[in-house]
Structure 1
C-alpha cells in the first residue's frame, strides 16, 4: 500500500519506498564488508522487523541464516516500559555464533537493551544491531548500534512494518501518524 493511500491519517511522509530501498542496499554493502567469510545469523524481532529483515536478507550477497524472536514490552500503546517477556524464542543455538539483530525501530532502547543482555547470555561470538530507524531524542538507555538506516524525530511513525493497532504495516514507506488517529 502506498503512503498516499492513507494520507488523511498521516501528518507527514517521512521516508519514501525508494529512500528505504537505497539505504538498505547501502547497509547491505557495509554488512558484507564487515562479515565477509563469516557465517552470520540474522535475528529478526517480530512483527515490525519483517519488512526490513526480508529486504535486507535479499539484498545481501553473503550467505546468512535467519531466525525470529517475538517479545512483548508492557506499556501504553505508543510507549515501551522496558518490562519484556518472550512470546517466541529463537530456534537456533547461539553458542559461538555471529549474530546480527535486525530491528525496524529503536526509540527508548529499553526493550533492545534487555534483548541484547538476553542474547549475550547465550554465548554468541558477537552480537551487533542493524536498525532501519532510530529516534535519538527518545533514547533512555545508550545502545551501540552498528548499522542505522535513518535517524528520525521522536514522533509516532507507521509503515514498512511499523504499526498502530496492527494497521499500516504494509505501507511501502514511513510516515508520521496523525495524533488524532491514536488519541
Structure 2
C-alpha cells in the first residue's frame, strides 16, 4: 500500500519508509552494543508495534526471543485514563531476563507507565523501552524511553502500525491524517 492507494486521506508524509529504516538501523546497532551477551526478550505491544517489532528485530545481530502483549486502556471517549486491562499476556517467564518493550508510539505514556510497573514486578533483570516514535508534547507521565526513533509533533498520525479505525496500519510511512477523515 502506498500514498496513491489512499487518495487524499493523508495530509502530508511525516516520516518516509527510508527515514524509518535508517533510524531503525541506528537503534539496532545501539541495542546490539547494549545487550551483547545478555538474554534479551523483545516484548511487542499489539497491535501497533507489529511493524517496528518485525523491522527492528531483523536488524539485530544479538540473539533475541520475542513475545507479545495486548493491553487496552480505557477512559472517557478517546482519552486514555491509564486504567489498563490485559487482553493477551506474555507466554514467557521474565525472571532474570533483559526485557525490551517495543512500542510504535509513546503518546500520553499512561498505558506504558502501567506496563512498565507490571513487567518490573515479574522479576526481570532489566526492563527498557524502544519506541519508533514519541510525542513529547503529549506526554502526561515521565517515562524513560531508552531508544527513540523520532520525536514527532502532537498530530494525528497513521501508518507504520498506527491506525485510525483499524485502517492505515500497513502504510510503509508515517503521515498526518487529513481532518476530513476523522471529522466525518
Measured in 2, the distance between the counterparts of 1:144 and 1:3 equals: 34
Structure 1: stretches of 5+ with no match in the other structure: none
- CA distances 1:49-69 after superposition (whole Å, capped 9, x unpaired): 000000011110110000000
Which residue is 1:148 aligned to?
A: 148
Q: Secondary structure at the match of 1:8?
A: coil
TM-score (norm 1): 0.97
Q: Which residue number corresponds to residue 71 of structure 2? A: 71
* Higher mean C-alpha displacement, 27-36 vs 78-87: 78-87
Distance change in 2, residues 1:21/1:171 (3 Å) = same
Runs of 4+ in 1 over 3 A off after TM superposition: 75-79
1:132 pairs with 2:132:
yes
Unaligned runs of 5+ in 2: none
1:43 matched residue in structure 2: 43
Q: Report 1:11-160 matches (<5 A).
A: 11-75=11-75, 78-160=78-160
CA RMSD in angstroms comes to 1.1
Taking a change above 3 Å as real, the CA distance of residues 15 and 79 of structure 1, as seen in their structure-2 partners, is farther
| C-alpha contact 1:3 1:175 (8 A) present in aligned 2 | no
Alpha-carbon distance in structure 1 between the residues aligned to 2:70 and 2:105: 14
User: Which residue of 1 is the match for residue 5 of structure 2?
Assistant: 5
**Structure 2 partner of 1:171:** 171
Change in CA separation of 1:77 and 1:132 when aligned onto 2, cut-off 3 Å: farther
TM-score by length of 2: 0.96
Residue 162 of structure 1 and its aligned partner are, at CA, apart by 0.5
